[in-house]
Amino acid sequence: MLIDTPTNRPGTPETKTAPRRRHDDAPDTAELFARMAELEDGPERDAVRDELVTLWLPMAHRIAGRFRDRGESLEDLRQVAALGLVKAIDRFDPSRGAFESYAVPTITGEVKRHFRDRMWALRVPRRVQELRNKVRVARRELTQNPGSPEPSVADIAAHTGLTEEEVSAGLEALDSFSTLSLDAELSADDDGYSLADTLGAADSSYDVVVDRESAKEGLRRLPERERAILYMRFFEDMTQSRIADRLGISQMHVSRLISRSCARVRDEVMGQRPGNRGSGGHTTA
């Protein structure tokens, strides 16, 4: 590792100054950047750009390593950091200072953006993501001293200047970065149950109630004989042959009356009221 140490002038008292550290993966590429800035788009400029990427790639990998063990593979993080490095090289102006000072925040921001936009198992609005970050930082700052109690919602609100409602939303978002499997056991007892066992299911009985109430008016408007046929068929579970024998008509006629009555009620329920329907009740055997 390279260390720059200051040199004191003769006759001046020696002062202790913390040495400025420089990473081994920060090569001296000022000449290459100056050369690339002078070149037009083409193969020669692309070659210089590729060389710069190769030289600075270890630094990008080092930055990616800071975010390991957060639910993303190191290889994917390195790919994201490499993308940030390419963006930094393309946007860097050599006249504005050292490349490392520009590249580090650019690459770090690209990796953080990857986590923000791609790694949420449960998608939440950007505003809630920002609240989550503020709450997370506030909790870390309030508990940095050993023995510090877990801060309350009011403590975090006072520390951040947020409202308690905003803090609550941020706290909920802390658990949204990863999801819990529906098969996860929620009880360690012998009769343990999973998360899926606690979830409700759609009750088909509600649909029956809605359909029954919707069909009531249409059934009331049917002729008496058609209402009787429907009652015998669907409530007394009589066959069409038995209904035909009781009414003294053919089984085919019973079948047509049932189909026509059901279609009429269905059309009325769906808002379709054909003007010619409804005369079936006056048909004679």
**Tokens encoding 89:** 């090289």
Using DSSP's 3-state secondary structure scheme, residue 282 falls into: helix
pLDDT of the residue at 273: 45
- What's residue 283's pLDDT? 41
111 neighbors 73 (Cβ within 8 angstroms): no
pLDDT, position 43: 92
**pLDDT at residue number 55:** 94
Calculate helix-pair angle for 224-234, 251-269, nearest 10 degrees: 100
Q: Is 262 helix (H, G, I), strand (E, B) or coil?
A: helix
Give me 280's structure tokens. 């079936």
Report DSSP letters for 226-248, one per residue: HHHHHHHHHTS---HHHHHHHHT
Over 114-180, what HEC string results? HHHHHCCCCCCCHHHHHHHHHHHHHHHHHCCCCCCCCCCHHHHHHHHCCCHHHHHHHHHHHCCCCCC
Q: Taking a C-beta distance cutoff of 8 angstroms, is the pair 247, 283 a contact? A: no
How many CB atoms are located within 10 Å of the residue 111 CB?
A: 22
Three-point CA angle 245, 246, 251, nearest 5°: 40
CB 247 within 8 A of CB 254: yes
Per-residue pLDDT of the chain in tens (285 residues, 90 and over written 9): 333 434 444 444 444 444 444 556 678 898 999 999 888 989 999 999 999 999 999 999 999 998 887 767 889 999 999 999 999 999 999 888 889 999 999 999 999 888 777 666 666 677 887 888 888 888 888 888 777 888 899 999 999 999 999 999 888 877 665 666 777 776 666 666 777 777 777 777 788 888 888 888 888 889 999 999 999 998 899 999 999 999 999 999 999 999 999 999 888 888 754 444 444 444 433
Q: Residue 162: left (phi > 0), alpha (psi -120 to 50), or beta?
A: beta
SS3 4: strand
Are 193 and 186 spatial neighbours (Cβ–Cβ below 8 Å)?
Answer: yes
Per-residue confidence (pLDDT) for residue 105, from 0 to 100: 93
Given the structure tokens 């403590």, which residue do they identify?
155
pLDDT at 88: 94
Nearest to 87 by CA among 42, 49, 55, 59: 49
In the prediction, which pLDDT does 191 show? 66
Maximum separation of any 2 CA atoms in the chain, in Å: 131
Q: Are 64 and 74 in contact (CB under 8 A)?
A: yes
**In 3-state terms, what secondary structure has residue 61?**
helix
Q: How far apart are CA 89 and CA 53, in angstroms?
A: 8
CA distance 45 to 23: 27
